[in-house]
Amino acid sequence: MDEVEVKKTKLRVLLVEDNPVNQKLVERYLLKLGHQIDIADNGAIGLEFLAQKNYDVILMDIEMPVLNGIETTKKIVEIYSDNRPVIIAVTASILSAYKEICIQAGMDDYMEKPVSGEQLKVMFEKWSDKIIKRIDADYKK
């Protein structure tokens, strides 16, 4: 699969986010881009979803009840190691010290709220190499 193909590929996206307004907003953008989306209200639910289904990308809120985005990402790394989906933090505060914490936890990138459809598209294209590698690996199973 090449980069052109990933632009046409229906990505399986897991949104881990507790805010209903943000959930709706991101869902609308992703569906408009032609992707598939599941929504988990917090990190613990997100981990349950991951155990049941393959995802290409995870959009991860940071502040959530039960299990926050940083702790959830650490658990994903612990369980799935390098076989994890691309994880992108979607957060309100993007202080540079905070970015470091996200990356150290195992996230690939970060976006500042509110995100736009165009920003999501650009982000998926930026990570298309890694996404493709994962999709190819899934297909080989």
Nearer to Mg ion, 63 or 129 (CB): 63
Minimum gap (Å) between residue 123 Cβ and Mg ion: 19
Stretch that binds Mg ion, among 33-41, 64-72, 75-83, 118-126 (CB under 5 A): 64-72
112 binding Mg ion? (CB under 5 A): no
Query: Which secondary structure element, helix H or strand E, spans residue 3, and what is its range?
Result: helix 3-8
41 in contact with Mg ion (CB under 5 A): no
Among 7-15, 55-63, 81-89, 121-129, which window interacts with Mg ion (CB under 5 A)?
55-63
> Of 107 and 131, which has the nearer Cβ to Mg ion?
107
Q: Is 63 a binder of Mg ion (CB under 5 A)?
A: yes
* 18 touches Mg ion (CB under 5 A): yes
Q: Please say which residue, 3 or 63, places its beta carbon nearer to Mg ion.
A: 63
The residue among 40 and 50 lying less far from Mg ion, judged by its C-beta, is 40
User: By the 8 A CB rule, do 46 and 72 touch?
Assistant: yes
Sheet holding 109-112, edge to edge: 36-40, 12-16, 57-61, 86-91, 109-112
The string of DSSP letters for 11-70 reads -EEEEE---HHHHHHHHHHHHHTT-EEEEESSHHHHHHHHHHS--SEEEEESS-SSS-HH
Give the Å distances, CA to CA, from 11 to 6, 81, 103.
8, 21, 22
Contacts with Mg ion, residue ranges (CB under 5 A): 18, 61, 63-64
